[in-house]
Amino acid sequence: MTFLVGRPLTLAITATAGSGFLLFGYDQGVMSGLLSGDAFVRTFPEIDTTAGGHGSSSLQGTVVAIYEIGCFLGAILALVWGEKFGRRMCIMAGCVILTIGAALQCSAYSIPHMIVGRIVAGIGNGLNTSTIPVWHSELSKAASRGKGLAIELCINIFGVMTAYWVDYGMSYVASEAQFRFPIALQILFAIVTFFGILALPESPRWLIAHGQHSEARRVLWAIQPNAHSITEEDTVVSQDIAEITQAVVEEQSASEEGSFRMVFKNGPQRFLYRTLLGMGGQMMQQLSGVNLITYYNTVIFEQSVGMSHNLALLLAGFNGVAYFVSTLIPIWTIDRLGRRKLMLFAAAGQCACMAILAGTVSNGGHAAGLVATVMLFLFNFFFGVGLLAIPWLLPAEYSPLAVRTRSAALATATNWIFTFLVVEITPVSISNIGYRTYIYFAVFNFCFIPLIYFFYPETRNLTLEQIDRLFTGEKVQLHWHPSMGIAGDVDQRVGEKDPESILNVVPSSSRKERSRKEQPHSERAPSVDPQLETREVDPAPSPLPVSYPDHNPAPIHPIDYNPCGGQALSPSLSSNASLYQAREVRGHQRGRSRDDETTKVPNHFSHGNSPTHLYIHSSPEFVVDELTALRNFSGNTASFPPSGPEPYQGIASPLFDHSVFSDPANFANDVFLPGSAYEALHTALRNRQLWTARSDIPSRCSSPASAPEFDAVTPDELQARQADNYSRSRRSFDLSPDRENVLWQNYLNETCTWLDMFDNHRHFASTFPQMAKSAPHLRYSILALSARQIERKQNEKSQSESLSLYQEAIHLLLPELERKTTPVIASCVILCVLEMLSCNPKEWRRHLDGCAYLIQAAEINGFSGKEEQALFWCFARMDVCGGLISEEETIIPIHHWIPKDMSPTEASQLFLASNITAFDTYANYTVYLCAQTLGVLFSPAAQMSSSCVSCRYLGSPDERDTYVHRWKHLFDTVEQWYDSRPNQMKPLFTIPATAANPFPTVLYGNGAAISGNQLYHACAVLLLQRKPKTLSLPRRPKSVLWHARQICAISASNTHHGCWTNALQPLWLAGKVMSHHSEHAAIIETLTRIERETGWATAWRVEDLKDFWGEDDEVDEMDSMRIDTEGDVSLQTPRSIRSQ
């Protein structure tokens, strides 16, 4: 087992794999400069084909190409024995055999001696090249697998370049060391690879396939980026083990218990088809003609172009440098652009280069010779970008585990057979047919284009297990389809395919980040008897008893039980409530339909196991105790009930002294940090909302399901206990009239433009402030939001004012939650807006779920009318934004957006009818359409159409089972929205784009029109990017680029602050479509203005876009969003764009 873990281990694996391919590349290139060297032709005159020599070109080809026969034999050995002895043993054996072969070559004095040495060295190299890509890919994450192999092949070409320059340097040596030293030097690389493999782990997939689960667990833990902060029993490691184990069982079952014959069978797993694709990739690589140049670079410069030997060697060296530089490009593009695009790009470019090379060589003039030289350089560029790394990656990606070693070995054997063919015939071909040699290679490259386009699936960012799904359906899928689920190794985990728990709703983009926070807690075994737990006071306690890895967990309180079904009365309401063990939550979800989850809050803690759970409180009144203790932490300290010590005596005010301006390098830099007062307050409110949303709590339209039978807390008793808790002595919150006036002014003039954007009646500016007079919690919620927006906009380092108001609002809100009145829902929605403004955007969904379920429990929907309808649509916009960030369906299911007795068709008709009477309702229709789009494209149940919540309302019953029908129905509805817009939703005027402004000017007259049209274009972009390939539309739609440019134009042209807050995700979608630097600059300028003028964080999206555009390696690029020592914000255009 290796002594390295985490990122150092990953780098060591890549470096060692690269050293093995450096050895391969060096041996490929070393013979190029030796064949025409003086010492070499003196020792081996039989293969002297230089001017004045009388050697045989065919024998020369055989001596060089026989190495490929050895490589082929090595690949066959890997095919037969590789799976039995493992990846590491094969690679180490290859290094030993190659060393022996190199020693034989460098000591050779005759052609047979040299041939034997090259065959032996080839066997060792064949073992290595068959096994190293498989070993490397099985130790890599899906998102970096292509990049890792691109680095590996980049090092391979570095070996070719090194060989060229060693040959050039040794050309000045007259003795036999001129060729013996370059051949012997490869022994050094073999030794480095051998000892590197010796210190590194075996493939975890091979270990599991051979029953070594404990060792596989250690390896999977060691390669995790955060291995230092988790244990081998971590959930992430266990999920990897489960995925691989399941894949092994399924594949071995399908492969007739691992027999060799299954490689050549095309059953449900399509083993033969997948093996042939891998072999075809290697065939294309060699028939492209690359080794025509690699092995005979110097010969071509001398014989075809007419250069001197010294100049040919020098140009071969520079060609090697250019070749190496071109191989750096796939490191950044292979996992962004994908395999197919790069292969198509390479095939087309290589075809052109070979065709031009044939024409110029046939001319024979000096100018033609220069063009031919350029074509040789360009050919290596195209090959290095697209066909160098990918054919080595595809066999390991396409092949299932049961045949992966054998398929990779067959693919490598194919490489060597075709390499032998090319290297064998090249000198004979050049001598006999001259320039026509390049013509047939041009034809070969032309034929590769349709072969790649029609047969090779895209595997970018897919796990090896997901790639299996591309091949195992009714037909091979060339692209991962949204209906197949979410791509990537983070999202398609075992246990995460089920719908999310109502108590653990987390966007997929943040699961990995949160798992790192949760794992130290999940490893702690709870006491058998909670009463035996002892309380330990930390030296610097946090506002609520939040556990950390180095501290004892929070104390466990006795648990009350609900007599109904033996379920616990309440989930945890402490700050630890968000730390439920994910495996238990997911275990509860299996077998439960989506509809069940959306109607009530499940309590998954049974009578039998709840008492020993680490994170369970007994009932909601503990929230009041906790918040009472937190009360006024900056001044006087409050007390917990007598059951524990006072934990907040040492907390200073303010809690934070650092800026919370968005930091693109650390998206977790928000005020809702673990252990913070903000996070503790939010967690308490969220859990109380979830508890209140339970189906057995009285709502405005229902009563409890049953009466308590034993020791359960009735609502009356609970209210009495809460009143008692609130009667405890505490200092009242003081807010001066002048300061409150400032906050109200900011709310009415700035914040309301966000909230009332789609509401012509402006309920947030008129109705809810009037309600706040008699609802103190609503008053403080409004003031807290206003204060927080001022702090964000002015970049204030202290959050004490907004935090104090936030505390006060929650203290006053908690006792009122069960009533679910309109002011209560209004407070919850407004506090959600505050949290959206202040938290890590990739955590938005966790800050929305509590309010979402409370809204459902209160039976509020998009047609409730008056204030409640305004609240719903305000929240719905946030729900859609959260779904766009994480590419998931909305938390409130789409069928809860309309009344129970209303069909989706009737809802659409009402929306369309509003284009005459209420254009704000028509604008809300786009929010509804966005929610439908998220449901159709990203619902985990999308591949199970019959149970898809969002999709059962699209199309007739006999059509709903196909993604194509759902997509078409939704697309037609979205286009109908655009075609039926009322005049208020249409632009006032437009100005075409100019050289100074890359986007057109599109001016609208109101906020509903601005955001409504922008959401329409966002829907269109999402749908068109995922259009079923088999679908033909009756009329040609606008392009994705047109919709994306409209999104950017709307944001740049209309500076409505409320609409800007809704523009972040549409701008992200549009930015990914843009390619010109002027467009990038304009988008970044708009995003920076949004943050500067509204306080909404945008730097994280700027960083995402820069990473997507390939600008992530320009360090300090985001100095354009920095904070100086006085707290001033400098928002400038990034340097890379200013320099254009």
* pLDDT tens-digit map of 968-1015: 888 888 888 888 888 888 888 888 887 778 888 888 888 788 888 888
pLDDT for the residue 542: 34
Better-scored residue on pLDDT, 618 or 66:
66
Determine the pLDDT at residue 782.
92
Answer for the pair 978, 1012: CB distance below 8 angstroms, yes or no.
no
pLDDT-based confidence at 99, cuts 50/70/90? very high
Measured CA distances, 612 to 76, 400, 529, 647 (Å): 57, 42, 7, 24
pLDDT at residue 148, as a whole number: 65
Rounded Cα distance between 190 and 102, Å, is 10
Residue percentage of the chain with pLDDT more than 70: 70
What is the mean pLDDT of the segment spanning 491-518? 37
Q: What pLDDT, on a 0 to 100 scale, did the predictor assign at position 563? A: 33
For the chain, report the end-to-end CA distance as a whole number of angstroms.
50
- How many residues in the chain? 1140
How far is Cα 212 from Cα 86, in angstroms, rounded to an integer? 12
pLDDT in the model for residue 706: 34
Whether pLDDT at 369 is above 80: no
d(CA 637, CA 730): 8
Q: Is the pLDDT of residue 875 over 70?
A: yes
State residue 348's pLDDT score.
Answer: 94
pLDDT at 1009: 82
The CA-based dihedral angle spanning residues 697, 699, 702, 708, taken in that order and rounded to the nearest 10 degrees: 20
Per-residue model confidence as pLDDT tens digits over 577-632: 333 333 333 333 333 333 343 333 333 333 333 333 333 333 344 344 344 434 44
pLDDT at residue 36 tops 80: no
Helix then strand then coil, % of the chain, to nearest 5? 65, 0, 35
Q: Which residues of 1089-1104 are buried (b: 16+ CB within 10 A; e: fewer)?
A: bbbbebbbbbbbbbbb
For residues 509-530, average pLDDT:
38
- CATH number for the region 7-467 comes to 1.20.1250.20
Residue 259: predicted pLDDT: 56
Query: What region does 495 belong to: left with phi over 0, alpha with psi -120 to 50, or beta?
Result: left
The values of phi and psi at residue 695, to 5°, are -70, -20
pLDDT of the residue at 901: 78
Select from 567, 566, 565, 545 the least CA-distant residue to 556.
545
What is residue 861's three-state secondary structure?
Answer: coil
pLDDT at 915: 59
pLDDT of residue 811: 87
In DSSP notation, 666-705 reads: -TT-SS--TTSHHHHHHHHHHHHHHHHTSTTS--SS---S
Task: Report the pLDDT averaged over residues 806-830.
Answer: 89
Count Cα neighbours of 56 within 13 Å in the Cβ-side half-sphere: 10
What pTM was computed for the model? 0.44
Residue 403: both structure tokens together = 């045949």
Distances (CA, A) of 992 to 595, 987, 1087: 48, 13, 22
Cα 198 from Cα 357, distance rounded (Å): 46
Q: Is residue 171 pLDDT above 80, yes or no?
A: yes
Res 366 pLDDT > 60: yes
Q: What is the DSSP string of 288-339?
A: TTHHHHHHHHHHHHHHTS---HHHHHHHHHHHHHHHHHHTTHHHHHTTTT-H
Contact (Cβ atoms closer than 8 angstroms) between residue 1043 and residue 1019: no
- Whether the per-residue pLDDT at 246 is higher than 50: the answer is yes
Q: Please answer whether residues 501 and 588 qualify as being in contact, where contact means their C-beta atoms are separated by less than 8 angstroms.
A: yes
- Mean per-residue pLDDT for 715-732? 45
Contacts of 906 (CB under 8 A, 6+ apart): none
Identify the residue with better confidence: 101 or 729: 101
Q: What is the mean pLDDT of residues 126-140?
A: 84
With 60 as the cut, is the pLDDT of residue 1057 above it? yes
Choose between 918 and 1077: higher pLDDT: 1077
Instruction: State the Cα–Cα distance between residues 312 and 302, nearest whole angstrom.
Output: 6
**Low-confidence winner among 99-113, 376-390, 583-597, 1010-1024 (lowest mean pLDDT):** 583-597
| Distance of alpha carbon 954 from alpha carbon 970, whole angstroms | 7
pLDDT of the residue at 644: 36
Q: Which residues contact 898 (CB under 8 A, 6 or more apart)?
A: 861, 862, 863, 904, 907
Q: How many CA atoms lie within 13 A of 217 on its CB side?
A: 13
Q: What are phi and psi of 1002, to 5 degrees?
A: -130, 105
Ranking 256-260, 513-517, 539-543, 869-873 by mean pLDDT, the lowest is 539-543
Q: What phi and psi values does residue 33 have, to the nearest 5 degrees?
A: -85, -10
CB count in 10 Å sphere of residue 676: 21
Whether the upstream peptide bond of residue 957 has omega within 30° of 0, thus cis, is: no
pLDDT exceeds 70 at position 833 = yes
The Cβ of residue 821 has, within 10 Å, a number of other Cβ atoms equal to 16
Query: Which residues, in sequence order, are CB contacts of 481 under 8 Å at separation 6+?
Result: 963, 1026
pLDDT of the residue at 520: 40
**Mean pLDDT, all residues of the chain:** 72
Residue 497: per-residue pLDDT: 35
CB 951, CB 965: distance < 8 Å: no
Half-sphere exposure of residue 190: CA atoms within 13 angstroms, side-chain side: 24
**Nearest-5° angle of CA 351, CA 354, CA 359?**
125
8 Å CB contact between 1001 and 986: no
Q: Are 361 and 438 in contact (CB under 8 A)?
A: yes
8 Å CB contact between 304 and 311: no
Q: What is the pLDDT of residues 648-662, one digit of tens each?
A: 233 233 332 333 333
The C-alpha atoms of residue 558 and residue 177 are separated, in whole angstroms, by: 83
- For position 142, what pLDDT does the model report? 62
Q: How far is CA 268 from CA 205, 253, 347, 398, 487, in A?
A: 21, 11, 31, 14, 22
Alpha helices in 495-562 (DSSP H): 508-522
In degrees, to the nearest 5, what angle opens at C-alpha 473 toward C-alphas 468 and 474?
150
Using 50, 70 and 90 to split pLDDT, how confident is the model at 89?
A: very high
Q: Any idea which residue has 């409150």 for tokens?
A: 740
Residue 762 half-sphere exposure toward CB, CA atoms < 13 A:
12
Residue type at 192? V
Instruction: Please name the residues in contact with 494: beta carbons below 8 A apart, sequence gap of 6 or more.
Output: 239, 242, 243, 246
Three-class secondary structure of residue 405 per DSSP: helix
Question: What type of residue is 1069?
Answer: L
Angstrom distance (rounded) from CA 1056 to CA 793: 16
Q: At 177, is the secondary structure helix, strand, or coil?
A: helix
* Main-chain dihedrals φ then ψ at residue 65, nearest 5 degrees: -80, -20
The 3-state DSSP class for residue 499 equals: coil
> What percentage of the chain exceeds 90 in pLDDT?
9
